[in-house]
Amino acid sequence: MNKRIKNVFLLVCAVVVVLAIPMLLSHHTPTQVDLVKLDAQEIAAQKEAAAQAEKQAARQARATRVYACSADEDCIIVDKDPCGCSVGPKGVVAINVNHIVDFNEMNNNNAVTSACTETVSQEKECSPSARPVCKARRCKIEY
């Protein structure tokens, strides 16, 4: 019987020690955590940056749609500049015919600041043989 009492006593002591170890090893002082404090201006700046990033992503998606195609019939040559071929090959571009409105919205900052010249560029993009084609799923001008 003594041996049994001794074993029970040792078992109880072992359980108490195992349960007491976390309390003995824990710290009495809380762990300090430094949080970044943002003022209203920084929060507003972050929101503005997020809005700008979202607008940029939307512009990029729109640009991808505007120039994307699957067949030559999807493409059309339009004036990128208000003066068109009068400013040379940079005045025209090939876009998807279904996204002319998107192109015009993207390109609305091109206001006529000076009079257009009467001469039309004879470079290949403006030549009579220029035609819109779909190459590598993008509208391009072929000469």
pLDDT along the chain (143 residues), means of 10: 85 88 71 78 90 90 88 91 78 89 77 65 73 92 85
pLDDT in the model for residue 3:
85
E strand segments, 41-87: 75-79
Asked whether residue 96 is assigned to any structural domain, the reply reads: yes
In a domain, residue 5? The reply is no
pTM of the model: 0.58
pLDDT for the residue 2: 82
Taking CA atoms, 93 is separated from 51, 67, 116, in Å, by: 29, 9, 18
Specify burial of residue 112 (Cβ count, 10 A radius: 0-12, 13-18, 19+).
exposed
Q: Is 74 among the domain residues?
A: yes
Would you say residue 36 lies in a domain? no
**Which two structure tokens, joined as six digits, stand for 4?**
């049994």
Does 108 reside within a domain?
Answer: yes
Looking at the domain assignment, is residue 1 inside a domain?
Answer: no
Residue keyed to tokens 């009495």: 28
Check residue 122 and give its pLDDT. Answer: 65
Cβ–Cβ under 8 Å, residues 66 and 96: yes
What is the pLDDT at residue 69? Answer: 93
Residues 6+ apart with CB under 8 A from 101: none
In the chain, the N- to C-terminal Cα span, in Å, equals 107
- As for how many domains the chain has, the answer is 1
Q: 77 lies in which domain range? A: 58-135
- What are the residue ranges of helices labelled H in 26-39? none
Domain-embedded: residue 13: no
pLDDT of res. 130: 85
60 vs 34: CA distance, rounded Å = 38
- Tell me, yes or no, whether 88 lies in a domain: yes
Residues with Cβ < 8 Å from 132, sequence gap 6 or more?
72, 75, 76, 77, 94, 139, 140, 141, 142
